[in-house]
Amino acid sequence: MEITKKKHISLEGKYDKPILVDVFYKKNDTHKPIVIFAHGFKGFKDWGCWNRIGEMFAKAGIVFIKFNFSYNGTSPAAPLDFVDLDAFGQNNYTKELADLDIVLEHLLEKETLLPITEFDKNKLTLIGHSRGGGIAILKAQSDSRIHKLITWAAVASLDYAWQHSTLVEQWKQDGVYYILNGRTKQQMPLYYQLYEDFIKNKEAYTIEQNARQFKKPFLIVHGTKDPAVPVFCAELLHEWSSTSKIHLIEDADHVFGAKHPYEGDVLPKHSLELLEVCIDFIHKNNN
């Protein structure tokens, strides 16, 4: 059966920038499990093989929804490029959680993303990659509409980059610090408001606390050779959670063998293993 794809659906965001959404599913009027996928830092919904992975979820009988955080630095006219670096610098965790909430609202309450006959509201899994995994943990814990949680190479804290007091002091003084995007060679700004937003909400935005409180099915997937987020982060999440299962992919990197742009129809072997374990988890826990 052919996969139905709806690309670049524009939703109005809470903070004056639109949220672009993609939907992949088999159109067959059956109530299928559903996944919402949140990308990571310096990421976007069309990165690498995320489209191919969306198709594979759909072929497995799971609706797959992915979206761009509204302040991720891309734009509706250029969803694959960081053309709005000021927006990137103005992004924060409160905005990302609000974006995710709007996607959920359009799916479950407004029913604007796909027909209600095509999915089961009671079989909703949230997936987050890297920093998006941290956001997913916070949202899954606080939102009863989410029934299962999966993280891909997730961080174990949202202040992982700010451990040196001298960095924070300089950041406050300058109002901004820059990080290099290794792929695009852009110097990407992070404004001090990101730190202020985290500190203001520190208790609510602490991943350990949320992971300990989350009592629904939770799958942690991580590569053993992740150079960006070390595998011990997965082990910490597993230690904190009383309901989690952990699956370590031997020799896998932070993006499970993928790259951007990704050409070809065959997924890298580590991405295939990622896909297989997640589909199995979703179906087994949605019976």
CA distances from residue 78 to 23, 46, 82, 127, 234 in whole angstroms, order as listed: 19, 11, 8, 24, 33
CA dihedral 26, 29, 32, 35 (to 10 degrees): 60
> pLDDT band for position 5 (50/70/90)?
very high
pTM > 0.85:
yes
- Over the stretch 139-149, which tens digit does the pLDDT of each residue have? 999 999 999 99
Which residues are within 8 A (CB) of 274 and not within 5 positions of it... i.e. 6 or more apart?
Answer: 152, 221, 249, 252, 256
- Does pLDDT of 287 surpass 60? no
One-letter amino acid at 160 equals Y
Q: Are 52 and 86 in contact (CB under 8 A)?
A: no
- Does pLDDT of 264 surpass 90? no
Domain 3-160+202-284: give its CATH code: 3.40.50.1820
Q: What is the mean pLDDT of residues 99-119?
A: 96
Number of Cβ within 10 Å of residue 167's Cβ equals: 13
> pLDDT band for position 286 (50/70/90)?
very low
Q: Are 153 and 62 in contact (CB under 8 A)?
A: no
- Does pLDDT of 16 surpass 80? yes
Question: What pLDDT sits at residue 144?
Answer: 97
Q: Are 114 and 25 in contact (CB under 8 A)?
A: yes
Quote the mean pLDDT of the chain: 96
Pairing state of beta strands 176-180 and 19-26?
Answer: unpaired
Of 107, 112, 86, 114, nearest to 17 by C-alpha is 86
Q: Are 243 and 137 in contact (CB under 8 A)?
A: no
d(CA 33, CA 236): 28
Question: What pLDDT sits at residue 285?
Answer: 59
